[in-house]
Amino acid sequence: MSAETPVCQLLERQEADYRGWLWVAPPRDAWLEEGQGSVVSADHGVLQAWRERGRPAFSPFDALQTGEPPGAVLFWPKSHLLGEWWLLWLCANLPPGTPLQLVGENQGGIKRVLKVLAALGLGCRKRDSARRCILFETRLDTVGIDPDAAWTRFEADGLTLASHPGVFGHGKLDEGTRLLLDQLERHLPGPERAQAVLDMGCGDGILAAWLARRGHAVTAVDVNAFAVEATRRTLAANGLEGQVLASDVYSALDRQRFAAIVSNPPFHQERNIDYGPAGRLIREAPELLLPGGELWLVANAFLPYPDLLQSAFGDFDILADDRRFRVYRVGVAGSR
C-alpha cells in the first residue's frame, strides 16, 4: 500500500526504520494504518481505524502502553499552539534523547517549527522536503513545562468554560454558538419540561453546560478528545452533570434517542472544507430523535445545509439569520 497523503508520501521515501515508532496526530492514511508502530491521536476516527486493524492506538488522555518507542513522528497541526502542546506532551511522556521527526505541509505552518524548537532549547535540522512538505528531526529533552498549563478558563453566559488549543473557539464564545443560545433560550422548553438532549460536537462544553443548567439530561459527544476532556472539565467546574463521550458523529451512541439534538457542526478538516460529518449528522438525525423531537443547528449562512435538511426531514425553519450565521430548527413527525 502506497502513502496517500503528501506528508506520508514524504515519510515513505525515507530510509529510516520506523518499526515500533510512535505516530503522533497523523492524518488518515492506509500506508500508516497497515504499517508498524502505534498511534496517539485526539481524533476518535483515526483511533478507531487503527484499532480495527488491531493496531495499538491511544488518546493523549490515555496511559501509554507502548514502553519506550525507538522514535516518534509528530504531524504538525494547523494550530500553532496545538503543535506546541504536542511537543510538550512528547517531552513529558517519552525519555530524553528519543528521536523525534516533525512533518507538515508548507501551507500548514511547518516552517514555524524551527522557532518553537529553539524556544524550548531543542536542536533541529531539516531532513528532507518534497510534495510541498518539510521533514525536520530533533531529539526530545526535559523542558520543564507541564503540558497541562495549556488548559485555561474563561467565563461566558454565567458559566466557567475549560479551554484548550485543540478545541474549536479556544478561549472565546463563538458568535454562531451565541446566536444558537439566544434561540434556545426563546424556544427550547425550560426546567419545567426537562428532556434528554444530545449536544453533537460539544467543543468546550458551552451548550452541554447551558442545557444541564436548565435541568436537561445531557449527552455530549465529539470526535475530538480535547473537546471531550474540555466538556468534562466545564461540567465539573460548574457543578453540573452529563454524559460525555468520544464519538464519530453518532457512532458511540447505542440505541439512545433524544427529544432534541443541538449542534454547531464543524465543516473544516484541517484547512479543507468537509461537509461529511455535518451531512451524517443531518441524514441520520431522524433515527436518533424521539417522536416530536427536534434538530437544532447553527451554521455559516453560505453552507448548503438547507438542501440536506430538506432531503432528510422535508420542511424546516430558519429561526435566526444575521447574514453570517443561521439557526435552523427541524422536527420529526409529531413536533408540531
Every domain of the chain and the residues it spans: 6-147, 151-331
Pairing type for strands 133-139 and 99-105 reads antiparallel
- Nearest 10 degrees: Cα torsion 262, 204, 87, 43: -20
Domain 151-331: CATH class, spelled out:
alpha beta
Note down pLDDT in tens along the chain; length 336 residues: 799 999 999 999 999 999 999 999 999 999 999 998 999 999 999 999 999 999 999 999 998 877 899 999 999 999 999 999 999 999 999 999 999 999 999 999 999 999 999 999 999 999 999 999 999 999 999 998 999 999 999 999 999 999 999 998 899 999 999 999 999 999 998 877 889 999 999 999 999 999 999 999 999 999 999 999 999 999 999 999 999 999 999 999 988 999 999 999 976 444 444 467 889 999 999 999 999 999 999 999 998 899 999 999 999 999 999 999 999 999 987 544
CA dihedral (283, 288, 293, 299) positive or negative: negative
Cell numbers found for residue 271: 484547512
DSSP state letters, 292-323? EEEEEEEEETTS-HHHHHHHHHS--EEEEE-S
Question: For the whole model, what pTM was predicted?
Answer: 0.93
CATH code of the region 6-147 = 3.40.50.150
Which residues does residue 180 pair with via DSSP β-bridges, in sequence order? Answer: none
* Strand, coil or helix: 117: helix
* CA separation for the pair 296, 216 (Å, rounded): 15
* Residue 283, phi-psi category: left (phi > 0), alpha (psi -120 to 50), beta (remainder): alpha
| 200 contacts 261 by C-beta, under 8 angstroms | yes
- Which 3 state secondary structure label does DSSP give 211? helix
